[in-house]
Amino acid sequence: MVAATPPLSIGLSTDACRLLADASRVRLLLLLEAYSLSATELSQVTGLAQSRVSTHLSRLKRAGLISDQRAHGAALYSASIAAEGAAGAIWNLLQPRLDDPQARLDRERAGEVVRRRHLGQTWAESVAGRMELHYSPGRSWEATARTLMQMLELGQVLDLASGDGVIAELLASHAQQVTCVDISAAVIAAARLRLSRHANVDFHQGDMHELPFTTARFDQVFALHALSYSPEPARLLVEAARVLKPGGRLILAALRRHAHAETQRAFDHLNLGLEVDELRGLMQSAGLRVMECAVSSRESRPPYFEVISALGER
């Protein structure tokens, strides 16, 4: 159980607001959430005088928002992972909504500064604990996924709401057959073009809530964000379970429920997502044994959409 946040006095909350009302301190905090940097490096990145940077760092450290450690003769500052107190409470409310061109430019400059370091650290040592935030040649989610796919033998695969075939392209070399289903003729045509070199991929334009396939046909059903385009998620899951072989698996990704109706309209989504327990219940009602159902990722930019990953077995 998460402990309740203690109440703040007027004095403490006022002091914390004053601390975070300074644009330079906010810039420094955002930088130190991405990198561990010295006062000299922070001065280079922001263009602020080092004396001012040191003063700001001192105040932020007293408030518990940052910490420092010695590395190769220099003090490296970083944001506290779980900042507490009045300033921490206010910062935790403010930070998820911050998205500013200056902050993005600062992070780019900081990346260059880190790469030019002469502290005797390897690249991995300089970004340890935040490695996923930094570029490294050849290190991408796509490259990682394609490498891990070599381990899979997928058998008969169904890709629901398959779009222009980007997921099917990833799966095709590791499956006996991939069947793509999408309601749009235009995206099916694009998928045919993309996947023209794969003889083991076929295409069906139609409603994923009424699949034209016999019961127990597929080893795997992929529904990666298909639920966003479903007016009846429960019905879709029942149909996906129907076409799975006994022991077959449904691999699913879905947006966690959000309040951004403008995004729903812009991307033609038909719902605002699902909560974890809601999705788990729908999968169980469809006759699936739920092996995994949890929030697996949170976007790093506003409005910070969260994705639920789920795995069910028939």
pLDDT tens, 142-152? 787 778 778 88
Predicted pLDDT at 2: 39
Say how many CA atoms lie within 13 Å of 241 toward its Cβ: 19
In this predicted structure, the answer to whether residue 231 has a pLDDT above a threshold of 90 is yes
What pLDDT score does 218 carry? 98
Q: 3-state DSSP call for residue 208?
A: coil
Which architecture characterizes domain 141-313 according to CATH? Answer: 3-Layer(aba) Sandwich (3.40)
* Those residues with Cβ within 8 angstroms of residue 183's Cβ, 6 or more apart along the chain or in another chain: 161, 205, 206, 207, 208, 229
Burial status of residue 181 (CB atoms within 10 A of its CB: 0-12, 13-18, 19 or more): buried
CA distance 74 to 71: 5
Number of Cβ within a 10 Å radius of residue 313: 15
Beta bridge partners of 181: 160, 204
So what's the pLDDT on residue 160? 97
Q: Distance between CA atoms of 43 and 50, rounded to whole angstroms?
A: 5
Percent of the chain exceeding pLDDT 90 equals 49
Kindly report the average pLDDT of the chain as a whole number: 87
Span 247-257, mean pLDDT? 96
Question: DSSP letter string over 27-84?
Answer: HHHHHHHH--B-HHHHHHHH---HHHHHHHHHHHHHTTSEEEEEETTEEEEEE-TT--
Confidence of residue 210 (pLDDT cuts 50, 70, 90): very high
Give the type of residue at 55: T
CATH architecture of 10-132: Orthogonal Bundle (1.10)
Domain locations along the chain: 10-132, 141-313
Give the tens place of pLDDT for each residue, 93-142. Answer: 777 778 888 888 888 888 888 777 655 566 666 666 666 665 667 777 77
Q: Say if residue 224's pLDDT is above 60.
A: yes
Q: What was the pLDDT predicted at 148?
A: 77
Name residues whose C-beta falls within 8 Å of residue 200's C-beta, 6 or more positions apart in sequence: 172, 175, 176, 177, 178
pLDDT: which is higher, 62 or 160: 160
